[in-house]
Amino acid sequence: MLMERVDIIGGGIAGLALAGRLDPGRFDVTVYEQRPELPAVGTTLAMWPAAQRALAELGILGAVRSRGSIIKAGALRSPSGDPMLSMEGEGLVGVSRPELLRLLDSAVPDTVSRVAGRVDRLPSDAWLTVGADGVKSIVRRDFWGERSAARPTPFLAVRGVIPGTPSAEDVGEYWGRGEIFGLAPAGDGTNWYASYRSALGPDGVDVAEALELTRTRYAKYSPAVRSVLSTAAPGNSLAQRIWTTPPLRRYAQGNVVLLGDAAHAMTPNLGRGACEALIDAVNLGKLLNEQPLKEALAAYNRERVLRTQLLRLASSLMGGVALAQGAQPWRDALVKQIGKRSKRTASRSVT
């Protein structure tokens, strides 16, 4: 049987998931990845239920659950740590990025070829070229044009994992004036992140400098936040500017298709980017396995564009609320009111 050649540019979450889902009996798949090895430092990614279904289709949900942790509840807190609103975890599973990549990698069949190194010029003559090369995708640049290039937001994300689990009274997301800080258990460690406007970057942010800036910025936060930041070190932390992509009306044209951040990089405020990358990959793989190319790509556009573009927008709106500056006192008053109302509703339904 004639095998169709599929070139996947990028062996991150989206690229590996697609390589794991394509039928090895029909497709001759090559994954091109510039990263020489899996990242050593990686914070927790929250997997929503739809992403867990995608992991189940790849046969690795059990392993992700056993190596990750179930996120049960959290709270929105003021900088001093007072809870403004309590939230249920809605069945989320937290897994570290390196662990997720390792498990996705283990689901890729041996028949898939791997090419190490950065791709600067796309290989030609493939039956299908897949852009799974993240927010700064060269596939999107080459086929969708310069106007589709990634854009830096004004926000810095500084994050890491430190040893020792946090106390339940400290877990949650702290909302200040133009800044957020998150803190949650991750295995036997603590996953933390901070985000605020900064002129650092947009490329090559120095981690030590970003950590110093973060310590100064959060110096008046609760003792739990200060203690995490005093333990964090450049070796167990990451710092980067957040980049997003402009809206696209379709993710496939001709015999080229985009998935994951290459198609719809969003701000991390809803914790959905990696989840949607997995769903893109599993859906696209299934469509390609079952339908001719043109029909499969048309169906992929129909299934994925509107949903992910709405999420991209919602993430950015959520980021605007969480990182509010001038409107912060009104925002906090509103959040507290919602918190009080939901407590009253809960106590009424118990009695």
Ligand X SMILES: Cc1cc2nc3c(=O)[nH]c(=O)nc-3n(C[C@H](O)[C@H](O)[C@H](O)COP(=O)(O)OP(=O)(O)OC[C@H]3O[C@@H](n4cnc5c(N)ncnc54)[C@H](O)[C@@H]3O)c2cc1C
For ligand X, the binding residues (CB under 6 A) are 9-15, 32-35, 45-46, 118-119, 132-134, 138, 157, 159, 193, 242, 260-262, 268, 271-275, 277
Q: Which is nearer to ligand X, 119 or 318 (CB)?
A: 119
DSSP annotation of 166 reads P
> Which value, to the nearest 10 degrees, does the dihedral of the CA atoms of residues 273, 277, 279, 285 take?
170
As measured in angstroms, the least distance from the Cβ of 324 to ligand X is: 19
DSSP annotation of 122 reads P
Bridge pairing between strands 256-258 and 113-116: unpaired
As measured in angstroms, the least distance from the Cβ of 191 to ligand X is: 9
Q: Which is nearer to ligand X, 106 or 291 (CB)?
A: 106
As measured in angstroms, the least distance from the Cβ of 77 to ligand X is: 18
As measured in angstroms, the least distance from the Cβ of 262 to ligand X is: 6
Positive or negative: CA dihedral 186, 180, 194, 304: positive
Is the preceding peptide bond at 98 cis, omega within 30 degrees of 0?
no
Counted residue by residue, the chain has a size of 351
* Three-class DSSP category at 132: coil
Q: How far apart are CA 253 and CA 131, in angstroms?
A: 12
As measured in angstroms, the least distance from the Cβ of 271 to ligand X is: 3
**Pair 197, 178: CB distance under 8 Å:** yes
Q: Which is nearer to ligand X, 12 or 319 (CB)?
A: 12
* Three-class DSSP category at 279: helix
As measured in angstroms, the least distance from the Cβ of 18 to ligand X is: 9
Bridge pairing between strands 128-131 and 113-116: unpaired
Q: Which is nearer to ligand X, 119 or 324 (CB)?
A: 119
Count of CA atoms in the C-beta half-sphere (13 A) of 121: 2
DSSP annotation of 34 reads -
Q: Which is nearer to ligand X, 281 or 297 (CB)?
A: 281
Q: Which is nearer to ligand X, 35 or 72 (CB)?
A: 35
As measured in angstroms, the least distance from the Cβ of 167 to ligand X is: 22
Q: Which is nearer to ligand X, 176 or 182 (CB)?
A: 182
Positive or negative: CA dihedral 161, 106, 279, 134: positive
Task: List Cβ neighbours of 83 (8 Å cut-off, separation of 6 or more).
Answer: 75, 76, 77, 172, 339
Q: Which is nearer to ligand X, 272 or 304 (CB)?
A: 272
As measured in angstroms, the least distance from the Cβ of 336 to ligand X is: 25
Q: Which is nearer to ligand X, 173 or 261 (CB)?
A: 261
**Pair 103, 66: CB distance under 8 Å:** no
Q: How far apart are CA 284 and CA 278, in angstroms?
A: 10
As measured in angstroms, the least distance from the Cβ of 9 to ligand X is: 6
List for the chain the helix, strand, coil content (%; round to 5).
40, 25, 30
